Structure 1
Amino acid sequence: MTERRAAILGRVSKILGHTTAADADAVTQRLNARPRGPQPQWPESVRERFLAKLAKVSGTCAEIDSHADIAHAVAGYLGAQNLPFRLAAAPHPLLDDVEWPAGWQVARRGAGGDDRVGLAVAFCGIAESGSLVLLSGPDSPTTLNFLPDDFLCLLPAGRIVPRLEDAWDLLRGERGALPRATNIISGPSRTADVEQTIQLGAHGPRRLHVLLLGDAPG
């Protein structure tokens, strides 16, 4: 345990009236156990649940069978939105072998203020809420999630977990330490601050489009 963590737990124990080391240890054991509360249940598969919840939060989805279909799916989206074939794409290994058509402008970097379309790769999806989990890092610039009006996100279907707690367990198991930022995104950015009227794109992308890749774990 780090000194800072020990100091925080010590203050918590003092507030709760704990006076012995055993009491402090009980607090630590409770935190490490990560007990779960009541868990929602549903009859459909995690994939079906994720897609249904994604639709409810105004997200869209294209289901693709292989990496070879990524460029085609992106082209379909850009064409449907009448957008130029220009995007900022994450320098993520899952996008390294994508063969973009000739004439496209694809920059492998974070997004800037002039980028209309961003493409990133999700760490995982959460079936319970239709959410995407994205981790900040060299291969996943956070600007891609928030600056472009149109946010496209590749999600391997095998990376869909049932519930939020499962996403944290997966992160701890695969990464150990948390990244600098973990973003949980549920649909396009929205607000109802003005006259309780929903406005999309107030604090981020106006549209969220998921490229759901295959059935096997990614």
Structure 2
Amino acid sequence: MSATIKDSSTRSQTSRADIFANIRRGLKSDSSDTQRQQTVANRLSAKADNLIPARSQLPPAEQVELFKTMATEAAAELIELESLAEVPQACADWLTQHHVDQLNCASDTELSTLDWQPLDEQQIGRNERVAQVGDIASLTCSFTGIAETGTLMLHSSAQSPTTLNFLPDNHLVVLHRSAIVGCYEEAWKKLRQTFGETLPRTVNMITGPSRSADIEQTLQMGAHGPKTLIILFIKD
């Protein structure tokens, strides 16, 4: 039996080699392999835009409104704030309303330098650490918002580990109005401009809370991540 399996494997490898050889012959041109490889390299390095939907090719103000509409349709909760300084009070109000007494925060300077007295007044604990199983709520900053689909782009860092985005049941995310772009291509361009060729290890695209209808077509929230997504929208 082992000899039969070996013969079958050998024939399969030979057939595969024949197929690839035929493809190479069919693609044969006057250009050398080096030239073709350079053509591919140039195309990749150019990072040209793909086909962009018309709905994302809007003036900035309309992009903001589109983002808000699409995010809300995706079941995200939107809380509009005038400034970043209002974030602690907004968090305290939301957590108190939903009977949550702990908030696990990213340690970004943007967040850690805020006045968190509103949480103390409501006796809500605040931690800055990696998220753990059993955490109820987390707070992070987003890198950008994508109007096309109401999607948040977040990236990992030493100050904001990816676990904060997925383990807690409730995810609160700070998004600045000025960070919104029209389409995915613009979001990736912005990321490359910020980090160059050394991109963050993890980039997450989040559109609304986690959900699934895989089982008997019944919608279940929080299937693979937070049950609730709260966007703290800063109107800067």
TM-score band by shorter chain is 0.7 to 0.9
- Over 3 Å counting, the alpha-carbon distance change for 1:73 and 1:16 in structure 2 is farther
Q: 2:37 aligns with which of 24, 37, 59?
A: 24
Q: SS of the counterpart of 1:120?
A: strand
- Percent identity between matched residues is 36
Distance (Å, rounded) in 1 between the aligned partners of 2:153 and 2:214: 25
Superposition pairs of residues 201-212 of structure 1, within 5 angstroms? 201-212=222-233
Corresponding residue for residue 74 of structure 2 = 57
Per the normalisation by structure 1, the TM-score is 0.87
Distance (Å, rounded) in 1 between the aligned partners of 2:26 and 2:143: 37
Is 1:99 the equivalent of 2:119? no
Q: 2:202 aligns with which of 181, 196, 206?
A: 181
Between Structure 1 and Structure 2, the one with more helix by share is: 2
Corresponding residue for residue 134 of structure 2 = 114
Q: SS of the counterpart of 1:170?
A: helix
Corresponding residue for residue 145 of structure 1 = 165
Q: SS of the counterpart of 1:45?
A: helix
Is 1:70 the equivalent of 2:87? yes
- Over 3 Å counting, the alpha-carbon distance change for 1:139 and 1:14 in structure 2 is farther
Distance (Å, rounded) in 2 between the aligned partners of 1:89 and 1:34: 35
Gapped runs of 5+ residues in structure 2?
1-19
- Over 3 Å counting, the alpha-carbon distance change for 1:17 and 1:196 in structure 2 is same
Shift of 1:196: 1.2
Distance (Å, rounded) in 2 between the aligned partners of 1:145 and 1:89: 11
| Amino acid in the other structure paired with 1:40 | P
Q: 1:33 aligns with which of 46, 52, 69?
A: 46
Distance (Å, rounded) in 2 between the aligned partners of 1:15 and 1:45: 51
Which structure has the bigger radius of gyration?
Answer: 2
Shift of 1:35: 2.2
Is 1:89 the equivalent of 2:89? no
Shift of 1:127: 0.7
Distance (Å, rounded) in 2 between the aligned partners of 1:47 and 1:131: 12
Per the normalisation by structure 2, the TM-score is 0.80
Whether the 8 Å CA contact 1:121–1:154 is kept in 2: the answer is yes
Shift of 1:115: 1.3
RMSD: 2.0
How many residues were matched structurally? 203
Gapped runs of 5+ residues in structure 1?
1-10
Distance (Å, rounded) in 2 between the aligned partners of 1:134 and 1:37: 22
